[in-house]
Structure 1
């Protein structure tokens, strides 16, 4: 007696599930890529936001500018105290009471006040501002000028103080030390603070645009 054995094979079709979001070449996949890149961009912005200088840099730069403007405005209005810290020529000019010279000195003081207001505008979003590129150019440009100016004069004054440069017998050492220890470092510090405030503005405006 023989029993026939039937070979039965059940084959189930392979079903591939492909959603619209993962199908290559679809609009949804492009949207996902854009969302992913935007997510990473936001993370990068958050990291840069943590690394950027604080708003205190703008306030410190403004304070330096306002304090720096006080003697200029004082001398421009006819004051004479402290003019010897700038140099003998400044003393002579202050005693002449020349209206043109006094106006130039006064305008110099007002320009420093404007610089302080500009430093505040870099860190205060509510204040009216110029276009972004002008704010950055003004902030970084002024910072470079201040640091280079103070650095060059500070280097020359240091060389004179160390005897590396010969000077006349009647050289004004009094004003030299005032420039060396106050005026030149003040330019450098104010320039550095203004540059940091411009960096803060640059980082914060990038965050606002995302």
Structure 2
């Protein structure tokens, strides 16, 4: 048992602290997970691949393909950023960088963007899974983006349910675990970690509810392009 943990704390909280303290592996797993999606989904579709689509993308200008490629590059970069949560350069700027080499990296510089991305990813995946289940059960209708031709919504919903949305959800969990590990590695106090985890959880639930409502009631353009 960690001697730094108050024995009066709830067992669930102590287990969470111990687990996240040893969750450096999540950053490596998240990096690989991001690379897989970038290469086998974004870059594949940017090259004209149609597996996972019930109809080919209709893109006479090439803009959608270029956007898919750019998104893939961004996802790859985000995956590499996760490594900063477990590598020395996430705590101090490498010495070989002119002028600022050796400077301490503010922990919020990596921590807050990672947490925000984690909220988005988990909420995106959870809302996507929930709404696809509701659609396949015949409880709601779904609309697809206008850049596709004749589509089979059921096939697209199944791909979303079992491939695309789970990727978002798992990526968000890995990213969140990486952030919690980094917070402990950067000496964030346990009370602050507890408050941050609670705020993160509540905010994720709120954003998930907003995304779900947006899809069900179609009051904003949905995020299914990603």
> Could you state the TM-score of these two structures normalised by the residue count of structure 2?
0.61
Q: Quick check: 1:57 aligned with 2:26?
A: yes
Pairing of 1:23-172 with structure 2 (within 5 A): 44=4, 50-51=18-19, 52-70=21-39, 71-76=41-46, 78-82=47-51, 85-86=52-53, 88=55, 91-93=56-58, 96=59, 98-126=61-89, 131-166=106-141, 171-172=152-153
After superposition, the Cα gap between the structure-2 partners of 1:86 and 1:147, relative to the gap in structure 1 and judged at 3 Å, is: farther
In 1: Cα distance, 2:25 partner to 2:60 partner? 39
Match of 2:162 in 1: 181
Aligned residue pairs: how many? 158
Greater C-alpha radius of gyration: 1
In 1: Cα distance, 2:129 partner to 2:18 partner? 34
Q: Say whether the 8 Å CA contact 1:72–1:109 is kept in structure 2.
A: yes
Please give the per-residue CA displacement for 1:142-181, whole angstroms capped at 9, x wherever unaligned.
Answer: 100000011111111010111212569x752111101001
After superposition, the Cα gap between the structure-2 partners of 1:75 and 1:167, relative to the gap in structure 1 and judged at 3 Å, is: closer
Gaps of 5+ in 2: 6-13, 94-104, 144-150, 189-226
> What's the RMSD between the two structures over aligned residues?
2.8
Match of 2:171 in 1: 190
Q: Secondary structure, in 3 states, of the residue corresponding to 1:206? A: coil
In 2: Cα distance, 1:53 partner to 1:202 partner? 12
Higher percent of residues as helix: 1
CA-CA distance at 1:75 after TM superposition: 2.3
After superposition, the Cα gap between the structure-2 partners of 1:145 and 1:86, relative to the gap in structure 1 and judged at 3 Å, is: farther
